[in-house]
Structure 1
Amino acid sequence: MTTTTVSATRRDVLPWSALLALGTAVFITSLTETLPAGVLPQMSSALGVSSGAAGQTVTVYATGTALTAIPLAAATAGIRRKPLLLGAMAVFLVANTLTAAAPGYAVLLLSRFLAGVAAGLAWALLAGYARRIAPPGQEGRAIAIAMTGIPLALSLGVPAGTLIGQQVGWRVSFAAVSVLTLAVLGWITIGVPAVSRPTATADRPKATTRQTLRVPGVAAVMVAVVTFVLGHTVIYAYIAPYLRHAGLGDAADAILLAFGIACLISIWYTGRHIDRRPRGLALTAAALFTLATAAFAATTAQAVVWVAAVAWGLGWGAAPTLLQTAAGHAGIRRGPAVADTAQAILVTLWNAAMALGGVIGGLLLQRVGVTADAVAAAVLGVLSLAVIAIARHHAFALSDQDTP
């Protein structure tokens, strides 16, 4: 199976084992990024730094991803995809093991930056890999299955890691991720078919960032990525102060669980329908997010907050799959190399938007007030909805067949 090519595995049935292996890899990358938030007090106490300093481990991770995703995608364009993916996950293994054993703050930051670099490469590969091993006409569903790792990491992985950190220690949480990564390396080696590397031809030249952004539809997708992710991060990073303001501080865990369950429902539904109705799903996701954040901004009535949190999850859960699928659809017309470069640009902008969202959300919270983040998120939601509505021919078409 390790030498099987994708052409030999293309059937009408999805390669579930391979896609679940990729989904678990996505789970690891997402969990590695967000796990510090759940064990922040233990990390800061053990290393003798403030909570703010310990929180920079998330920023360093995102910085590593944002700075290296595009250069690494370009530098590795001629390398076979399966060994490259295994190499990226092996770096995750090293980085999380180093995090678990870090003797001090400087080593911790270095390990987190290394993990971010690995994430930049892995994220640029994973959606395209899922697309290539899927049967024709089921590419969007394959990406949806792989992207299930994101809401699972947020709704299950982080709480589990937090519990381990509280009961046994934060280092054990990262060591557990290393053990899972080792298992996934074996799973990918055995169960994921190889795919051919992108090649440049006369009519499909090597893709640079500038050339890729000029492909019809790609730039529109990237604008939607920035506005959607920025809006989500502005409110998500500071949802705890908002819930306290609404008198729901004690119910924060339950509300976030409801959000996570809604995310899972959303990604399940999206996976079933994305290959037939990608545009309708994208419009619905952006509309749900916009309505939810507008409700947060308009009122702190507890019943409304609960309903809005569920609507937010339904809108956001589908976003990674929808946006990565749209980027792939826009780029694949110019060849796999362009599609891979589009994914690398998406990863870079995604992480930059996350980092910027944390900064903007914090400034608004301190200088304007607790509902200012919700207002900003709603405005950004309107912008993303407008971009999706306007980009109907190349970026967010009615279906893959409707894309010129």
Structure 2
Amino acid sequence: MRNEWCAGDRETKVSPATFSGRPQGRNEPTLNSDTESIETVSVLTQSTSNDGIVEPTTSMPARLVDSSYPPGRLPLHALLVMALMGFILITTETMPAGLLPQIAGGLNIAEGTAGQLVSAYALGTVVLTIPAIAFTRGMRRKPVFLVGILGFLIANTIAVFSPDIAATFTARFAAGAFSGLVWGMLAGYARRITAPELAGRALTIASIGTPLGLAIGTPFGSWLGTTFDWRWSFGVISVLTIVTAVLALTIVPDAPGQPAESRVPLVRVFAIPGVTVILVVIFAWMLAHNTLYTYIATYLRTTNVPISVDVALMVFGVSALIGIAITGALIDRVPRPLILGSLFLFLTAGVVFVAGSHSPAAVLVAVVLWGVAFGGAAPQLQTAISAASGENADIANSMLGVTFNVAIFAAGVLGAVLVSTFDGIALPFLMIGLTAIAVSIAFTARRTAFPAR
């Protein structure tokens, strides 16, 4: 069936099957049906038949948009529910790192073994995210979102009551898998329920849970677990997840899945111009970040600056909130200068970490620059890869999530080698080198990965 709209005294018809490729032209009207709209992003050519029918051919897949929100208005409540789920996911992933003695004592295992609970979560994300997103990409978004939340809730609750390490590992692996499903679909979901001119801002709001989780959620979970019991920390996460599920059921609108005619095989998503380039930038940037973040205590101890790890991470978290606020204000207007500015700021932070390593004031300045630069990284990168991949944004964002987690895993290994072979001061040197690579790639990828608009 073809979608139609009236253009003066002519009838204009568009077939969804004509949409393919990348945007290069001007905007066209939006096509509405009872349940969804197909927005024509750009037009390359128009051919007119003898009966006056105009057949536009576009260079980008149609973007499905929920019709319940009028243009110019953000679905703020729905986006905040997504942000709350993001807060829960990042807190759950990182919280065990601050509870290793308590978890080890409770399960009668070594602390090193307890530390692998973080790896089990990341492994679940890496292994199952892309298959899960590929399997569900044609389904309506709200049911998939709810299944992801409920699956995560069940897995996390099993961890609360698990009697041994085997059950806990299994629960963490499953929680990571459902986390990957939710992370992989959030960017596309947020964009589909938002007017296109506000898509970047919507993604920024939906992503605010990540810096909040790092700044507030993880420290609070560690405090709760050390003050009472580590199972309390996981229990509170389950309660918050129940609240989020109820809010998602009642507040978040539904949106269509990806039409069958616009789906491409997973391998071909990598071949979409710009996608692989963005993934390389993500890996370099996140490897640089996570290596320093994981071993920040080692850096502070090596430099002998009188700054505690708690203070450094708190300053980082607050600065990250500033970064995401800046991103929200600018991402829809100047996406390319914004991401280049963030990378240059991140690079500057690395230089200050080296040059001012023995000055408490300089180190704190470096932490602030680091936090501001990193705070908006997730929505900036998600916006870039969503724009590059078009209607295949869910698959591309699942690749983004996997790349993030591979970088986290690699950071633990690479950081351990660096601090054991050299010392903590080697970490910002790695930060500088990797960020310089990311900057050079992003700067040269003007046409496909990081365009001006």
Q: TM-score, normalised by structure 2?
A: 0.84
- Kindly state the Cα deviation for residue 127 of structure 1 after the two structures are TM-superposed: 0.9
Structure 1 runs not aligned, ≥5 long = 400-404
Match of residue 316 from structure 1: 374
Specify every segment of 5 or more residues in structure 2 that has no aligned partner in the other structure, as ranges.
Answer: 1-33, 37-65
Aligned residues of 1:72 and 1:121 also touching (Cα < 8 A): yes
The offset of 1:364, in angstroms, is 0.8
Asked if residue 246 in structure 1 is aligned to residue 276 in structure 2, the reply is no
Letter in 2 for 1:360: L
Counterpart code for 1:316: F
> Which position in structure 1 is the counterpart of 2:54?
none
Out of 142, 145, 165, the position equivalent to 1:105 is 165
What is the Cα deviation at residue 10 of structure 1? Answer: 3.2
Asked if 2 retains the 8 angstrom alpha-carbon contact of 1:270 and 1:318, the reply is yes
Which residue does the alignment assign to 1:402? Answer: none
Distance 1:331 1:107 in 2: 38
> 1:264-290: per-residue Cα shift (whole Å, max 9, x none)?
011011011100011111011111111
Q: Deviations over 1:285-340 (max 9, x none)?
A: 111111112222334122211100000001111111111110001011xxx2x111
CA distance in 2, matches of 1:4, 1:115: 32
Offset of residue 249 of structure 1 = 5.8
Q: Which amino acid aligns with 1:313?
A: G
Give the counterpart letter for 2:338 in structure 1: L
Larger deviation, residues 76-85 vs 17-26: 76-85
For 1:226-375, list aligned pairs within 5 A.
226-248=283-305, 250-300=307-357, 301-332=359-390, 336=391, 338-375=392-429
Check the 8 A contact 1:78/1:198 in 2, yes or no: yes
| CA distance in structure 2 between the partners assigned to 1:162 and 1:341 by the alignment | 33
Structure 1 372/321 Cα, relative in aligned 2: closer, same or farther at 3 Å? same
* Structure 2 counterpart SS, 1:145: helix
- Asked if 1:397 corresponds to 2:451, the answer is yes
Distance in 2 separating the partners of 1:49 and 1:298? 41
CA distance in 2, matches of 1:345, 1:86: 21
Superposed CA RMSD in Å reads 1.4
Relative to structure 1, is the Cα distance of residues 42 and 4 closer, same or farther in structure 2, using a 3 angstrom cutoff?
A: farther
Q: Which has the higher helix share?
A: 1
3-state SS, counterpart of residue 196 of structure 2: coil
Corresponding residue pairs, total:
390
Separation in 2 of the partners of 1:258 and 1:98?
A: 34
CA separation in 1, counterparts of 2:400 and 2:306? 34
Looking at structure 1, the residues matched to 377 and 423 of structure 2 have their Cα atoms a distance apart, in angstroms, of 27
Q: Answer yes or no: is the 8 Å Cα contact 1:246–1:302 preserved in 2.
A: no
Matching residue's letter, 1:261 = V
Q: Is this contact kept in 2: 1:128–1:340, CA < 8 A?
A: yes
Q: Which runs of 4+ in 1 moved over 4 A?
A: none
Does 233-242 or 37-46 show the bigger shift?
37-46
Q: Is the 8 A contact 1:4 1:194 kept in 2?
A: no
Deviation, 1:250, is: 5.0
How does 1:17-36 map onto structure 2 within 5 Å?
17-36=77-96
Return the alpha-carbon distance in structure 2 between the equivalents of residues 326 and 125 of structure 1. Answer: 15
Give yes or no for the alignment of 1:184 onto 2:244: yes
Q: 1:143 aligns with which of 181, 194, 203?
A: 203
Is 1:7 aligned to residue 61 of structure 2? Answer: no
Q: Are the counterparts in 2 of residues 130 and 146 from structure 1 also a CA contact under 8 Å?
A: yes
Native 8 Å contact 1:4 1:193 kept in 2 = no
Greater relative contact order, per chain length (Cα 8 Å cut-off, separation 6+): 1
Amino acid paired to 2:435: G
Between structure 1 and structure 2, the one with the greater Rg is: 2
Q: Shift of residue 380 of structure 1?
A: 0.6
